[in-house]
Structure 1
Amino acid sequence: MKQQTFSNLQTHWKFRYCHGGTLRKSSKGRGARPLSSKDPIHLVFKVNKSAVTKGLRSARSFSLLNILLKKYARKFFVRIEQFSIQSDHIHILIRGGKRSAVQSFLRVVAGQFSQCLTDTFTRRHEGEKVWKHRPFTRVVKGFRPYIVVRDYIQLNELEALGRPYSKTRLRGLSEEQLRELWA
């Protein structure tokens, strides 16, 4: 009976292609996770800073995350178009085939990331949870939103490498700034 009440939830039109993250705490993000086999998916993993002390950009964590992403993308036939690893979150732009393969990719990658970050392959993790929220996904519909997400992930990567942060960075970049972004 309780299961049926969740399936009838109506989400706001803004969030019909989004799931997880902070949306999960409200009724907006409690429907089924929207996934697409044709359109790209923007995926965000947010880590608890207290659970992972050195952050995701430390040399060991960064190389482990790169290896795991590539390994499981091959295994589940998911194409990673772009990714950016920050100190406390990861942005990934993927395209998948079957819905079940993308779901498996999300589940396995989240589990393997948390096991590697806390070294809990043989023992149980007793500290805080590794992930702050469930993975946020958004199906990117259309070419302009795809360009915006792609530029956003590139900008995040450059900021992780040392580019100064600006609050007005997402208000539209000039053509010169776009060329500099992708140079």
Structure 2
Amino acid sequence: MKQQTFSEINSPWNFRYCHGGTLRKSSKGRGARPLSTKDPVHLVFKINKTAVTAGLRSPRNFNLINALLKKYARRFFVKIEQLSIQRDHIHILIRGGRRSALLSFFRVVAGQFAQVLTDTFTKQHEGEKIWKYRPFTRVVRGFKSYKIVRDYIQLNEREILGRPYSKTQLRGLSEEQLRELWV
């Protein structure tokens, strides 16, 4: 009975599996963070551009972020299925074993990113906050939505590597163009 009441979070149906980001500013995103140990989770970290002037794609920051993600994914038994690091945000598609491990992964990775990017190991940071929003998570339920998120992350990675940006994103792509993303 207790688990049934936990699964029915009091939030609108289209935000039932989402938490953080801009949702936090409205009443829709203020419940418990929905997580699943069976389904993948789409995780987005968005930085404040003025706090990190070099961006996340600078060689130093890019390598540090990759190393931190690998280190803490091993520590918290989280499998990173897909990753895309942009100039001002990071998309990660992950799977985890336990809810507590996933929450610890989010907390530790966000803290370590902030410490490394602002270099607070050697000096005290006295500037703007590094994170623009709290980490956004969405539980990806079903194969169709999994495929859409997976293709979206791949499209983001291709755009940062030189593919032209389109406003329609995945909606305007044919099957051939979607296959081309993965080549």
TM range (shorter): over 0.9
3-state secondary structure, aligned to 2:127 = coil
Q: Deviations over 1:90-121 (max 9, x none)?
A: 00000000000000000000000011100001
Number of the residue aligned with 1:167: 167
Number of the residue aligned with 1:34: 34
Q: Which runs of 5+ in 2 are unaligned?
A: 1-8
Q: Distance in 1 between matches of 2:182 and 2:71?
A: 26
State yes or no: 1:76 paired with 2:76.
yes
| Equivalent runs, 1:64-103 vs 2, <5 Å | 64-103=64-103
Q: Distance in 2 between matches of 1:39 and 1:46?
A: 23
Q: Distance in 2 between matches of 1:19 and 1:168?
A: 24
Amino acid paired to 1:83: L
Q: Deviations over 1:4-62 (max 9, x none)?
A: xxxxx831110010000000000000000001100000000000000000100000000
Cα distance change, pair 172–145 in 1 and its aligned pair in 2 (3 A):
farther
3-state secondary structure, aligned to 2:31 = coil
Number of the residue aligned with 1:128: 128
State yes or no: 1:142 paired with 2:160.
no
3-state secondary structure, aligned to 2:43 = strand
Q: Distance in 2 between matches of 1:123 and 1:26?
A: 35
- Identity rate, percent: 78
Amino acid paired to 1:181: L
- Give me the TM-score of the superposition, normalised by structure 1: 0.94
Q: Deviations over 1:95-154 (max 9, x none)?
A: 000000000000000000011100001432110000000000000000000000000000
